[in-house]
Amino acid sequence: MPELPEVETVANGVHERVGGQRIVSVWLSSKPQTFKTPAAEMAAALEGRGIERVRRVGKHIVFDLDRAQDSPADSSSSANIQPVSVQPVNVQWIVHLGMTGRLLVSSPDVPLPAHTHAVLGLSSGRELRFVDPRRFGRLAIHSSATSDDAASPAGFQGPGREPLAIALPEFQALFRGRRLAIKSALLNQSLLHGVGNIYADESLFRAGIRPKRMAGRLRRAELERLHGSVQSVLREAIALGGSSVSDYVDADGVRGFFQLEHKVYMRTGQPCLVCGTAIRKIALGGRSTHYCPHCQR
C-alpha cells in the first residue's frame, strides 16, 4: 500500500532509470477506469516526449515531459520558435499507484506480467510498465500553462499540503474547527497529501494521541507533537526505502524495511513496545486503526 515514503522511493528509482529518455511508443490496456485521461488522448500526449524528471507530489508520481514536440503540425518550420499567440504548455504524466500499482523498467524480452495496463517504449530500448492487479491505480495527463514566474513552478500541485514542507502554524490551522477524528483528517488528502493508513497510525502513536480524538479539539501542544511525528515518521521511512506490507516493492523490485519499525500498525494484541499494553485495533472510517490505549490519550 504505497504511501508517501513508498511513492518517493519509487519515483526516485524510476527517475534514475528513465530520466532523460524519450518515449518512442505507447501501449495502453482497455481498462478505461485506469485512465482519468482518455487512453487515446493520453497516448497522443506521451508519444515522442522526452522525460525530463520523475518526482513525487503527495502520493502521485509526476513525470515532467519536455515540450519539444508541442507543435507537431509545424515540424517543418525552424526549431525552437513558438508562435507568439500560443501559450507554452507544461505536460505531465501523473501516476497514482493506488493499492497495488507498480512501475517496472524492463527489457522487452521479459514477459509482460499479468494486469499490465500501460507500456511505454523508451529510447534506451527498455520499457516502462505500469502493472496494477487491483486497479485502484490511476493514470492521467496534466496540462497547464507555464508561468513566467520562475519562483512558482507550474504544473501539477496535488490536492493538499506537503507534509514534509508544511510549517507548524499552517499545520495547526489545517485542523482548526474540524469536527472529525484526527485519524480521518490525516488521511484526507485535500488537507495533507501523502499520509495513508500506516503512517497515520504510526504518527499518532509517536505523538501520544488517540486516533478518534476530534481534530479541532486537539491542544496546540498536541498538534505540535503531531507535526513533528508526522515528519519524523515519513523521513525515517524514506531513509529505509518505505514499508513493505503485502506486495509493495520499489522500482528495482527491492522491498523496503520500515515495516520493522512499526510500533502499532498490524500489531493488534501484541504488547506496546513502550508500556507493554496490548495494541488495540478498531475500525475508523472503514479503515483498520491501531493504537496503544495506555500511551495514546
Catalytic sites, residue numbers: 2-3, 59, 287
Rule CB under 7 A: say whether 1 interacts with DNA: yes
Please, what is the minimum distance in Å from the beta carbon of residue 61 to DNA?
Answer: 11
Cα angle for residues 222, 223, 224 (degrees, 5° grid): 90
Scanning 13-21, 68-76, 85-93, 286-294 for contacts with DNA by CB under 7 A, the matching segment is 286-294
Identified binder of DNA from the candidate list 53, 67, 255, 287, rule CB under 7 A? 287
Residue number, 3 or 127, with CB nearest to DNA: 3
CB 120 within 8 A of CB 26: yes
Binding residues for DNA, rule CB under 7 A, total 34
Rule CB under 7 A: say whether 179 interacts with DNA: yes
Please, what is the minimum distance in Å from the beta carbon of residue 285 to DNA?
Answer: 5
Q: Compute how many other C-beta atoms are within 10 angstroms of the C-beta atom of residue 59.
A: 22
Query: Collapsing DSSP states into helix, strand and coil, what is residue 45?
Result: helix
Please, what is the minimum distance in Å from the beta carbon of residue 34 to DNA?
Answer: 9
CA distance 252 to 197: 24
CA distance 55 to 65: 12
Name the residue type at position 204.
L
Rule CB under 7 A: say whether 3 interacts with DNA: yes
Burial of 215 (0-12, 13-18, 19+ CB in 10 A): buried
Cell match 484526527: residue?
Answer: 182
x/- map, 243-282, DNA, by CB under 7 A: ---xx-----------------------------------
Q: Which of residues 123-162 bind DNA (CB under 7 A)?
A: 133-136, 159
Relative to beta strand 51-57, strand 60-65 is: antiparallel
Give Cα separations from 284 to 36, 157, 197, 222, 290 (angstroms): 29, 28, 11, 20, 10
Identified binder of DNA from the candidate list 56, 96, 129, 267, rule CB under 7 A? 96
Identified binder of DNA from the candidate list 22, 59, 262, 280, rule CB under 7 A? 59
Site residues (vs DNA, CB under 7 A):
1, 3, 33, 58-59, 96, 98-100, 114-115, 133-136, 159, 177-181, 184, 187, 189, 196-198, 216, 246-247, 285-288
